[in-house]
Structures are given as C-alpha cells and as structure tokens.
Amino acid sequence: MVKEGSTAPAFDTRDGEGNSVRLKDLRGQKVVLYFYPKDDTPGCTKEACSFRDAFDDFKKAGIKVLGISTDNEASHKKFARKFDLPFTLLTDTDHSISEAYGTYGQKKFMGRSYMGVHRKTFLIDKKGKIKKIFEKVKPDEHAREVLEAFSK
C-alpha cells in the first residue's frame, strides 16, 4: 500500500503525444500525479481546468503536473486540445499504474458496480518520495489545495 513517506511506485508510460514518460526521469523535480476516471467528463474536466487555470503558479513553483487515466493517447490528445491543457496527460490503459498507486478498484454509480479509477492525487518530492496523498478530491478546488500543500 502506498502511503506518505514511501517511495512513489515507478512507472514508464506514454503521454497524449506518444512520448515516453518515466517517473525516474523526473527525479529532482516536484511532481503532482493526479489520477482521474475519464477524459472529457464533467468532474474530470473541472479538475483538469483547475490545474490549467493554476498552471502558471505550478510552473513558477517548479512543480510538474501529470494527469493520468486509463484513456488512450488519442483520447488524451483530444481532451488536452479541447480544453487547452498545458500539462501532460499520461496513459494507463492496462491500469497497472493505477493498481500500483491503489487508485484502481470497485466503484458504484447509479446502483451499478464496476471496476475503475478513483480520483486521488499524490505529491511526489524531488527524491521520489510521496509527500502527501489527497484521498478526497473536490475537482474544482483541487489545484489550489495541492499548490498550498507543496508550499508547506
């Protein structure tokens, strides 16, 4: 189980442009890794746009923002273009990264149970350790609380 203070699970995946992204290549940087259920859905769009709107502040603070879902590269590319998202969206089509971080599991919606990604955010420090985990995320306010947490 991933917890605050532990080493962030390594990953090697692709972004919406098809580029390889490995966590170990981001050592020395502060990273926000936010898991979200699906591109272009109401809550996920609010969350992505909150990070977009605060992106300059993240950039000034030297914080890399990464969004991740089980959507494929084409879906991420379309989502990023539609909402002018300036940060990287990562693919996790086999949900192996979500499983490693403990964000993949049983969900319920309108009386139906299914497997999917839970909305959760991890702050990873320059040494690759998890500084903070946000279990309960309010999509439209999330970027600000993440920025504040990294400032502490």
Q: Catalytic annotation on 49?
A: no
**Spatial distance between the Cα atoms of 49 and 53, rounded to a whole number of angstroms:** 6
Q: Which of 8, 21, 32, 44 is catalytic?
A: 44
Q: What is the pLDDT of residues 9-19, one digit of tens each?
A: 999 999 999 99
Q: By C-alpha distance, which of 106, 128, 116 is closest to 43?
A: 116
Claim: this prediction has a pTM higher than 0.85: yes
- Residue 81 CB-density burial (10 A; 0-12 exposed, 13-18 middle, 19+ buried): exposed
Q: What is the pLDDT of residues 89-112, one digit of tens each?
A: 999 999 999 999 999 988 887 888
Q: pLDDT 10s digit of each residue in the chain, 152 long?
A: 799 999 999 999 999 999 999 999 999 999 999 999 999 998 999 999 999 999 999 999 999 999 999 999 999 999 999 999 999 999 999 999 999 999 998 888 788 888 889 999 999 999 999 999 999 888 878 888 898 888 76
